[in-house]
């Protein structure tokens, strides 16, 4: 369900545990609408966030930030962009439709409303929202077997289910590895009927190079093809927590249908510091016939534990005398409100074509998703230019962290791809915009440094360098021998690095032919036949709601402010070049 309305220039303050589904009242300013939808009661949330100042930990991340104007016309300086990043962190986690998410979208609307000539719109969407409150696990065993008591969890399993406050209790049954080596069928769950199941998920390893082909890149001192080869080697047998939910999510609906009371999912092959607070998966439906959470539906509540904890629980369950109590309480709201923010800067040329700039706004941490900050900076830059050939449309969409409720198939897709994004909903709500578009430009996960599981120590550590800036760069005719998008983007990357701002390592990629993986919110634009320049780095903490040591930072300390700014500067250069290119070249 969707309604559309202009957004006022004033930001509103709201939060609380419930986002009502009241229809928007035509003509009301955005602040009054949100109040009418049941959001005004949390004004203290945003007021306190805005007034927090920079906590010591946040201030420390700003050391050395330049206060000079930006190096491109109209572009805000580094220190201003980094203050935006710190503000994003103060909003907290921004799961779809949560108080922090609503506050962030409101803040973005206020920023874009201040851009000269920018027309701001909002699409109000409704969905069935599930937000976790409490989660815990307790095991009980005879003294002779082991120790009873609380079990350390790494996180809850999103949109899995709910329990009463006291939880659900049953025998702890170890079902072994999922998926089983013998192959999976729903009968896998039968031994845990009326019980709490323990499953140990396989190490999340995927040969990303099978789904992508690197066609160029940038690393200092190397050729474009050498950089592409380095990225291909990196992408082979890539271990990443996100793969678990994307490619092998635990089939909780089958577990529920088999009478399982709840599921304990154990990570394997990864250190606890890497998997702690991972909001995973974000791509699965609620385990009900409808796929939607409702207040009276228990679903199949599930939680995550680390590798060593999973092994310990397996040992306790081996004797058949262990029982477990699983607690996962949640706020479930049918018809909860959430908003996609969008708008445009009109061009002065006669191309008859649009350029779409997009990202999403929901996410768990400082990098997922900070692409909206990049779009605000680019809007200010583009608005300051004396001329633009194309109309520039900006889409900052909601729903990426509840994709089952926020994706639609692109009609008559020109390109096959594995992956779809919440931008598809906005596209089909405004088909004339994308049907007249030549190019889609996507910014996601800015400033990410690389962290990995050290093979020697087994610890989760930084490598000391940036994460690969994998960027889908394709022309509209993907069979064309020319690729203006890639040429313009890599030239912009080189210019950014030559000017003293870092933006490396970078890989220009395209979906492989046999298994065409397109990750991120650029995927529906590609499916619709647009040329794309879609940045989608994949740090291993992409889904992590902060680490165990400093959870309140939401992994802000893993970002490189100069890298983030360099990426924005690269896109400013690339967009200008592509805007000036002949229409036939895009």
- Give CA separation, 112 vs 7, 10, 121, 317, 365, in Å: 10, 10, 10, 55, 22
The last residue of one of the domains, among 298, 332, 366, is 332
* Same domain (yes/no): 24, 156: no
Q: Are residues 213 and 314 in the same domain?
A: yes
Contacts 24+ apart (CB under 8 A), 498-501: 499/71, 499/569, 501/71, 501/562, 501/565, 501/566, 501/569
Going residue by residue through the chain, which has 586 residues, state the pLDDT in tens, using 9 for 90 and above.
Answer: 565 555 543 333 333 333 333 222 222 233 333 333 333 223 332 222 222 233 333 343 333 333 345 678 999 999 999 999 999 999 999 999 999 999 999 999 999 999 999 999 999 999 999 999 999 999 999 999 999 999 999 999 999 999 999 999 999 999 999 999 999 999 999 999 999 999 999 999 999 999 999 999 999 999 999 999 999 999 998 999 999 999 999 999 999 999 999 999 999 999 999 999 999 999 999 999 999 999 999 999 999 999 999 999 999 999 999 999 999 999 999 999 999 999 999 998 778 899 999 999 999 999 999 999 999 999 999 999 999 999 999 999 999 999 999 999 999 999 998 889 999 999 999 999 999 999 999 999 999 999 999 989 999 999 999 999 999 999 999 999 999 999 999 999 999 999 999 999 999 999 999 999 999 999 999 999 999 999 999 999 999 999 999 999 999 999 999 999 999 999 999 999 999 998 888 8
Neighbours of 416 (CB within 10 A): 11
Tell me, rounded to whole angstroms, the distance of Cα 447 from its chain centroid: 14
Whether residue 563 sits in one domain with residue 519: yes
- The answer to whether 472 and 533 are in contact (CB under 8 A) is yes
- Residue 84 sits in the same domain as residue 164: no
Q: What is the pLDDT of residues 192-219, one digit of tens each?
A: 999 999 999 999 999 999 999 999 999 9
CATH code for the domain in which residue 198 is found = 3.50.30.30
- Give Dmax over CA atoms of the chain in angstroms: 81
Q: Which domain holds residue 570?
A: 2-128+335-585
Point out the domain boundary residue: 301, 316, 332.
332
174 and 118, same structural domain?
A: no
Same domain as 341, residue 309: no
| Whether residues 341 and 389 fall in one domain | yes
**Model pTM?**
0.89
Structure tokens at 567: 């990426």
Q: CA torsion sign, 513 to 531 to 120 to 27?
A: negative
- Asked whether residue 350 falls in the same domain as residue 410, the answer is yes
Count of domains forming the chain: 2
Do 141 and 81 belong together in one domain?
A: no
CATH number of the CATH domain containing 482: 3.40.630.10
Q: Judge if 515 and 372 occupy the same domain.
A: yes
Residue 92 exposed, middle or buried by CB count within 10 Å (0-12, 13-18, 19+): buried
One domain for residues 403 and 436 = yes
Q: What is the pLDDT of residues 175-186, one digit of tens each?
A: 999 999 999 999
Q: Which of 332, 367, 390 is the endpoint of a domain?
A: 332
Q: 251 and 372, same structural domain?
A: no
Secondary structure (3-state) at 87: helix
Q: Up-side HSE of residue 146: CA atoms within 13 Å toward CB?
A: 19
């Amino acid at each position: 369900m969707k309604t559309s309305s202009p957004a006022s220039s004033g930001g509103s303050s709201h939060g609380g545990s419930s986002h009502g589904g009241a229809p928007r009242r035509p003509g009301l300013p955005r602040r009054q609408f949100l109040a009418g939808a049941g959001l005004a009661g949390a004004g203290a949330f945003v007021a306190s966030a805005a007034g927090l100042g920079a906590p010591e930990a946040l201030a420390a991340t700003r050391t050395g930030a330049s206060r000079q104007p930006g190096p491109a016309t109209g572009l805000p300086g580094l220190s201003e962009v980094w203050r935006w990043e710190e503000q994003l962190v103060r909003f907290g986690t921004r799961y779809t439709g949560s108080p922090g998410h609503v506050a962030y979208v409101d803040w973005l609307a206020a920023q874009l409303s201040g851009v000269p000539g920018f027309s701001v719109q909002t699409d109000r969407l409704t969905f069935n929202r599930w937000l976790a409150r409490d989660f815990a696990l307790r095991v009980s065993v005879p003294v002779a077997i082991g120790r009873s008591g609380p079990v350390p969890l790494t996180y809850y399993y999103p949109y899995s289910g709910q329990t009463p406050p006291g939880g659900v209790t049953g025998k702890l049954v170890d079902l072994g590895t999922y998926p089983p080596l013998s192959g999976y069928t729903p009968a896998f769950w039968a031994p845990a009927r009326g019980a709490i199941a323990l499953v140990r998920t396989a190490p999340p390893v995927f040969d990303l190079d099978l789904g992508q082909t690197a066609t160029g890149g940038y690393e200092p001192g190397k050729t474009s093809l050498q950089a592409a080869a380095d990225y291909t080697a990196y992408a082979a047998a890539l271990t990443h927590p996100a793969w678990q939910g994307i490619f092998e999510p635990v089939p909780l609906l089958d577990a529920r249908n088999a009478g399982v009371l709840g599921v304990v999912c154990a990570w394997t092959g990864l250190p606890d510091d890497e998997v702690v607070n991972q909001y995973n998966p974000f791509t699965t439906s609620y385990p009900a016939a409808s796929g939607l959470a409702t207040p009276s539906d228990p679903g199949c509540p599930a939680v995550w534990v680390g590798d060593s904890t999973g092994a310990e629980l397996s040992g306790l369950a081996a004797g058949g005398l262990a029982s477990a109590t699983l607690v996962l309480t949640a706020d479930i709201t049918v018809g909860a409100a959430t908003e996609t923010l969008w708008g445009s800067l009109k061009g002065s040329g006669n191309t008859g074509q649009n350029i779409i700039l997009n990202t999403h706004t929901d996410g768990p941490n400082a990098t997922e998703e900070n692409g909206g900050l990049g779009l605000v900076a680019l809007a200010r830059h583009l608005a300051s230019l004396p001329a633009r050939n194309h109309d520039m449309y900006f889409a900052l969409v909601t729903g990426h962290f509840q994709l089952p409720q926020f994706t639609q198939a692109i009609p008559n897709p020109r390109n096959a791809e594995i992956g779809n994004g919440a931008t598809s909903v906005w596209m089909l709500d405004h088909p004339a915009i994308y049907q007249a578009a030549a190019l889609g430009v996507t910014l996601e996960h800015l400033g990410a440094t690389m962290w990995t599981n050290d093979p020697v120590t087994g610890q989760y550590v930084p490598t000391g360098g940036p994460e690969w800036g994998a960027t889908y760069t394709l022309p509209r005719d993907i069979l064309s021998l020319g690729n203006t998008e890639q040429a313009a983007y890599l030239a912009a990357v080189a210019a950014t690095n030559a000017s003293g701002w870092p933006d490396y390592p970078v890989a220009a990629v395209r979906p492989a032919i046999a298994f065409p993986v397109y990750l991120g919110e650029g995927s529906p634009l590609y499916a619709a036949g647009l040329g794309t320049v879609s940045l989608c780095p994949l740090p291993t903490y992409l889904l992590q709601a902060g680490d165990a040591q400093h959870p309140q930072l939401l992994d802000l300390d893993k970002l490189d402010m100069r890298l983030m700014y360099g990426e924005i500067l690269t896109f400013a250069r690339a967009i200008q070049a592509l805007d000036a290119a002949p229409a036939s070249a895009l």
